[in-house]
Structure 1
Amino acid sequence: MHILMVAAENGALNGAKVGGIGDVVRDIPMALADLGCRVSVVLPAYGFLHHRRMTNEPVTLPVHFGGTAHTAYGHRVQADQPHDGVTHFVIDHPLFEAFDAERNAHRIYVDDPPHQPFAADATKFALFCLTVAQGVRQGLFPDLTHLHLHDWHAALLLFLRAFHPDYRSLRDLPTVYTIHNLGLQGIRPFQDHASSLHAWFPGIAYDRSAVADPRWDAVNPMALGIRLADRVHTVSPTYAEEVLRPSDVPHFYGGEGLERDLRGARDEGRLYGILNGCAYPEETKRQTEPDFGALWSLLKATVLDWSAATDTLRTVHFTAHARLSALAQASRPPTILCTSIGRLQPQKMMLLKEAGTRSGSGLEGVLDRLPEGGLLVVLGSGDGDYERFFMQTGARRGNLLFLNGYSDACAAALYTAGDLFLMPSSYEPCGISQMLAMRAGQPCLVHAVGGLRDTVRHGHNGWHFDGERLPDQVDRMIDAFSGAMEIFSTDKAQWRTICRNAAATRFPWPRSAERYLEELYAS
């Protein structure tokens, strides 16, 4: 069996990961290879990945896109941690490159203006899908038996497979379509825009009902993937159930307008929910009590690095550095260290920003219930309104340390040092942060949705809460946190048991890979 995985991210290549999809595309190929499969992984080069560890001469991929001839180049590259049975490819074309001069770095995704969402990325990934199809046609990935497409970025391969006369051979390959986040669908117009289906693939006859969004006169790659793939896969069993229900944003997240298509996939026996896994290296286990001096030093050095990246000192970094200096000079460590790591945007942080039926935000309610001497550390960046909210709250509250950025080293240190991890996502297809926290022996407090419900057992390896309406969810989050703090303060034996249970919880990738073979790739 030779599986080609097509995705926008790949954590096996340094700089090619933004979120959880990169972790999955890094880890599941290795688990499948351990079971005897051959796996190839392909993504765009983004202007830099093809310069790193090339292992062959580039393969020329001529295509017609947007009514003109283009040439892309397929490169086989070496992963940072090579694995037998897994081969990594990137495809280079000038359209795939986006350089952020302010951050002096290449970007995988582009932030398009609100009046034309996904425009740059949709065009980029439409061309990427075309070059992958050409690569399959030319034998860049020899002896393929299956195509596995990840999220909307790869969905247009199914359009080409179904309707493009040059790529009919792709119909011989069974296809799996994985939904990592149904909230991002890549919707674009049919025509009258440079980033539209007719502009990308002029003259191609197609079935409009197969590609149309159910709500608007537009192309929906996510819907296309659900309708045209042989099997549709969500990254947790609970999420596979949630997406069948209608959405009531912002209080509830379900099928995001595609619930009818997803119910159709379920009724046809094409919808599967398989939980993502996690790697469990020995060095992630908590061996001793945290070294808070080393932790504060690492966080201070990171904040200084972030500050040095700009010409002017940002208030949020100044405040964090001052707070860290005070912590380093304190005579004793925090009585309890709570942590939260993730993107600062509505999906992840709405329940902390919004108010419940009581006064103040959810975050204020959590801080009010921290034991004396306790500290909550939030590490993340994202939406400007959310960054300002955490910055302003952190400036007023001495028991909140807000670190406005991201660092793998800081995240790993906080997973290891923390006593309780907060992950109150409004929806969560699977989630990796809660697995990483538990892996290090840190129990989690989570909203009982999606993969969070599937991984955190209330009172066993953490706590969870629910609620029908947004204010109720905020209230119940605060109550669940208060209950956890009561156990921490009054029943140390029970707390230690919950921590041990968290450390012993396992979601191994080999278990997920076995289900892939049994359910997604079975003939």
Structure 2
Amino acid sequence: MRILFVSAEAAPLAKVGGMGDVVGALPKFLRRMGHDVRIFMPYYGFIPDKMDVPKKPVWEGAAMFQSFSVFESVLPGTDVPLYLMQHPSFLPRRVYGGLDEDWRFTFFANAAAEFAWNHWKPQIIHCHDWHTGMIPVWMSHDPDISTVFTIHNLAYQGPWRWRLEQMTWCPWYMQGHNTMAAAVQFADRVNTVSPTYAEQIKTPAYGETLEGLLSYIGGKVSGILNGIDTESYNPATDKYLHQQFSVDTIEKRPANKIALQEEVGLEVNKNAFLIGMVTRLVEQKGLDLIIQMLDLFMAYTDAQFIVLGTGDRYYETQLWQMTARYPGRMSTQLLYNEALSRRVYAGCDSFLMPSRFEPCGISQMLALRYGCVPMVRRTGGLVDTVSHNNPIDNTGTGYCFDRYEPLDLFTCMIRTWEGFRYKDKWRELQQRGMREDFSWDISARKYINLYSDILGLPPEETAPQQEPELSVGKG
């Protein structure tokens, strides 16, 4: 099959959230399965810092009364063909933000559609989030190109219909009050990045005002859990770690904890319970819960806490102020640092993710991979990837809580802190998590069956059985 991924992000070139990880990893696994998969993304101003780009474009086109160029290369570290769409609006050294964000990505979607019609014609265009939401609308009457629309975060829905009509061509048959609403109606299949989130978005609590529409089209909505790149994220070979280790040599792991404490300015103490967070500092990630109860937790325990990430100024300020109150016990690193994030996974005892909602989440799977026990709220993909520890039956991979309340988070953190005291049981818990299989191979087979179902092809024999909701035909 010929499949074109169209996305605003693709790791390692442009990564803000989980979408970048998916688009950067899934295509290379699909190619290994014998399919012609390529990526189309913006040519951001910072990309030449990360890779060499050919001087001459392979194709030039026009959309929305603007000319653009497309340069062909290969996604670094893979054999995946990469098309970079160049236009002055993408020259700033940023992915999102700015007053022109709606225009930029609507134009990007137009450019991708023109590219697919006129230069390299795929059988499937795999669209990601609202930035590509108009593509299913335009392709819905093209018998040669089908579309899959993946919802990575339903909270961001793109420009309203009136704004779209000011910027681009909205066909007479188009329905939907914003870009996301239009996309889910006209895509041949809609999927989210975890099975639980696929069901949650049909409810008022998680539907972001689209729950009625998503319930109505529920027959073509499914959830496929994200994977992680187990080749890159491998504690046995990770070059960024102070001490490499594996599930069978986990006794080497504490050296990473000591090195991390030294690096971020915490008191060096191998017996201290060290909690880590690698996250965007936004309300979705549960920062309001943490701010409400962290003082109480730090006063009650001897734990240490490290936060790595950037986001809303309010949360950055609050965390800085807390750090000043706990010298040697708390560190706030307001930056994006891929190498340091790996050392957090490898050095911390537990990883905190108290999300208000979480479409999938990558961090908890990386934490498990590196022997860092997750503390999570049971929502979205966290339900599908972390099970509650039961030391009696020796089952479970982390600690979980249900209600989005500060007291429930506090209770979960105390239970985890107490569990850390029982070293033998804790090591067994770490090893159970490290043995979990979150490789892309499993998810890639499910995506292949999803594409095959759209095109009327039989499912691959090696793939797991697909859910019955994927039986809806094109259109």
Bin the TM-score by the shorter chain. 0.7 to 0.9
Q: How big is each residue's C-alpha offset from its partner over 1:441-491, in whole Å with a ceiling of 9 and x where there is no partner?
A: 111000000000110010011011011xx4xx22111111111222222x2
Amino acid at match of 2:402: D
Amino acid at match of 2:220: R
Scaled by the length of structure 2, the TM-score of the pair is 0.86
Amino acid at match of 2:255: P
Instruction: State the shift of 1:205 in Å.
Output: 4.2
User: For this pair of structures, how many residues does the alignment match?
Assistant: 431
Aligned equivalent of 1:108, options 91, 95, 100: 95
Q: How big is each residue's C-alpha offset from its partner over 1:18-53, in whole Å with a ceiling of 9 and x where there is no partner?
A: 111000001110111111111010011023436842
Aligned equivalent of 2:18, options 17, 20, 23: 20
- Asked whether the 8 Å contact 2:15–2:21 carries over to 1, the reply is yes
Instruction: State the shift of 1:157 in Å.
Output: 1.3
Is the counterpart of residue 2 in structure 1 residue 2 in structure 2?
A: yes
- Asked whether the 8 Å contact 1:231–1:270 carries over to 2, the reply is yes
Instruction: State the shift of 1:345 in Å.
Output: 0.7
Instruction: State how far apart, in whole Å, the 2-side matches of 1:351 and 1:498 are.
Output: 28
Write the mapping of 1:50-89 to structure 2, written as runs, cut at 5 A. Answer: 52-55=51-54, 57-65=56-64, 69-83=65-79, 86-89=80-83
Residue of structure 1 equivalent to 2:467:
none
Write the mapping of 1:379-418 to structure 2, written as runs, cut at 5 A. Answer: 379-398=308-327, 399-418=329-348
Residue of structure 2 equivalent to 1:151:
129
Structure 1 segments of 4 or more deviating over 6 A? none
Structure 2, unaligned stretches of length 5 or more?
239-244, 390-395, 457-475
SS at match of 1:290: helix
- Asked whether the 8 Å contact 2:195–2:384 carries over to 1, the reply is yes
SS at match of 1:211: coil
SS at match of 2:217: helix
- Asked whether the 8 Å contact 1:50–1:77 carries over to 2, the reply is no
Counting aligned pairs with the same residue, the percent is 32
Q: How big is each residue's C-alpha offset from its partner over 1:121-154, in whole Å with a ceiling of 9 and x where there is no partner?
A: 1100111111111111222x24x21111000001
Residue of structure 1 equivalent to 2:151:
179
SS at match of 2:286: helix
Instruction: State the shift of 1:352 in Å.
Output: 2.9
Q: How big is each residue's C-alpha offset from its partner over 1:257-299, in whole Å with a ceiling of 9 and x where there is no partner?
A: 0011111121xx2011110001223425455122455434544
Instruction: State how far apart, in whole Å, the 1-side matches of 2:127 and 2:420 are.
Output: 44
Instruction: State the shift of 1:184 in Å.
Output: 0.7
Residue of structure 2 equivalent to 1:188:
160
Aligned equivalent of 2:350, options 417, 420, 426: 420
Is the counterpart of residue 479 in structure 1 residue 411 in structure 2?
A: yes
Residue of structure 2 equivalent to 1:263:
215
Residue of structure 2 equivalent to 1:494:
425
Residue of structure 1 equivalent to 2:166:
199
SS at match of 1:148: strand
Write the mapping of 1:354-373 to structure 2, written as runs, cut at 5 A. Answer: 361-370=292-301, 372=302
Distance change >3 Å, CA 453–CA 487, structure 1 → 2: same
Write the mapping of 1:82-481 to structure 2, written as runs, cut at 5 A. Answer: 82-83=78-79, 86-98=80-92, 106-112=93-99, 120-139=100-119, 141-142=120-121, 144-162=122-140, 170-188=142-160, 190=162, 196-201=163-168, 205-207=171-173, 210-212=175-177, 220-247=178-205, 254-266=206-218, 269-281=219-231, 282=234, 283-284=237-238, 285-286=245-246, 287=249, 288=252, 289-292=254-257, 294-296=259-261, 298-299=263-264, 324=265, 327=267, 332-333=269-270, 335-353=272-290, 361-370=292-301, 372=302, 374-398=303-327, 399-459=329-389, 460-467=396-403, 470=404, 473-481=405-413
Instruction: State the shift of 1:367 in Å.
Output: 2.1
Residue of structure 2 equivalent to 1:101:
none
Instruction: State how far apart, in whole Å, the 1-side matches of 2:309 and 2:298 are.
Output: 18
Distance change >3 Å, CA 291–CA 241, structure 1 → 2: closer
Instruction: State the shift of 1:9 in Å.
Output: 0.2
Q: CA RMSD in A?
A: 2.0
Amino acid at match of 2:43: A
- Asked whether the 8 Å contact 1:425–1:446 carries over to 2, the reply is yes
Give the stretch that moved more between structures: 496-505 or 281-290.
281-290
Residue of structure 1 equivalent to 2:33:
35
Instruction: State how far apart, in whole Å, the 2-side matches of 1:369 and 1:238 are.
Output: 34
Instruction: State the shift of 1:499 in Å.
Output: 0.9
Instruction: State how far apart, in whole Å, the 2-side matches of 1:369 and 1:75 are.
Output: 57
Amino acid at match of 2:179: P
Scaled by the length of structure 1, the TM-score of the pair is 0.78
SS at match of 2:352: strand
Amino acid at match of 1:175: T
SS at match of 1:88: strand
Amino acid at match of 2:168: F
